[in-house]
Amino acid sequence: MPSFVSLQNVVYPSHELSLTMILLEEWSLIYVEGLDSKTYLQNQLTIDMNFLLETHHALCAHCNINGKVWSTLRLFHYEKGYGYIQRKSVSEIQMREMHKYSIFSKIKFHELHDICLIGIVGSDARAFLSNFFIDIPSENCPVMHEENTTILWYSDPSERFLLVLSFADFLIFKKKINKKIFFNNSKQWLLLDIEAGFPIIDKTCSKRFTPQAINLDKLKAISFKKGCYYGQETIARIFFKKTNKYYLCYLISKGNIFPEIGSFIETQIDGQWSKIGVLLSIVHVKFEEIYIQVVLYKSININNLFRICGFRNIFFIKK
């Protein structure tokens, strides 16, 4: 019989995780289908669609005409078209903007509400999945499709897997589990993304940053060689003129505070607290630590101490 142990919203850093199943309820899956899907996405997204293999997934961004990021996407081939995973809070506005220019294209967008996104993490994750699936994705083949399930492989911050399946298939999958496994919510996956350095763009911070400001260039999520796409002129200008002034990182502190996403980050300059960044995401870890993902000015010394505007807790950069 399956033995599920609820972690009661306790989130752990990647190096402390036992075998854990995570329900990604804060993310959504968008399905794109139609004859013009590839061409249309090529004109909208920051990556070159010609290099997206059937067996791979890619991090990329959808930007507005000014080169500001609507959302960050995890894109892959799915069924007869493409699927992409993004933060649920931004899906409505992102889909509206993505669909805006499609009137003359043979393409359709669907947010799939009957699909379940499940994370499998921990030291025994690969062995655990091998009990249910013939082939498990890996570095050479990060996307596998088996029957009605798609599995995505992630290398960072440690090996983990994202399952895309229907709710009905998820219930069947759960019934087949015959070993102890911990069960947690989206905050656990959010922490893993923060540790991996994947930018978290929720509705509050949508269209606020260029891709370079959130490290998408370093994450190989931008093509500077393909043709035009929305925001390309601004993004290319920043790249070639090397004018990006920001970078993405995460900070750690102790305590239990609940600041709003989009709050300012401060550091002491000449004895005064000055605004030098923006809060993108926050996770409380083991009720003791606070991990926050932030965008900071590049000129700031990484050895500085930081705080969130309105709070006294002192943060430092995780190195």
Instruction: Enumerate the known binding-site residues for folate.
Output: 27, 189
Residue stretches of the annotated binding site: 27, 189
DSSP letters spanning the chain: --EEEE-TT----GGG--SEEEE-TTEEEEEEESTTHHHHHHTTBSS-GGG--TT-EEEEEEE-TTS-EEEEEEEEEETTEEEEEEEHHHHHHHHHHHHTT-TTSS-EEEE-TTEEEEEEESTTHHHHHTTT-S----SS--EEEETTEEEEEE-SSS-EEEEEEEHHHHHHHHHH--SEEEEE-HHHHHHHHHHHT-----GGGTTSS-GGGGTTTTTT---SSS---TTHHHHHHHHHHT---EEEEEEEEES---PPTTPEEEEEETTEEEEEEEEEEEEEETTTEEEEEEEEETTS-TTS-EEETT----BEE--
- Cα–Cα distances (Å) from 274 to 8, 258, 306, in that order, read 37, 21, 10
Are 61 and 72 in contact, with CB atoms under 8 Å apart? yes
Query: Measuring CA to CA, which residue among 102, 105, 123, 114 is closest to residue 148?
Result: 114
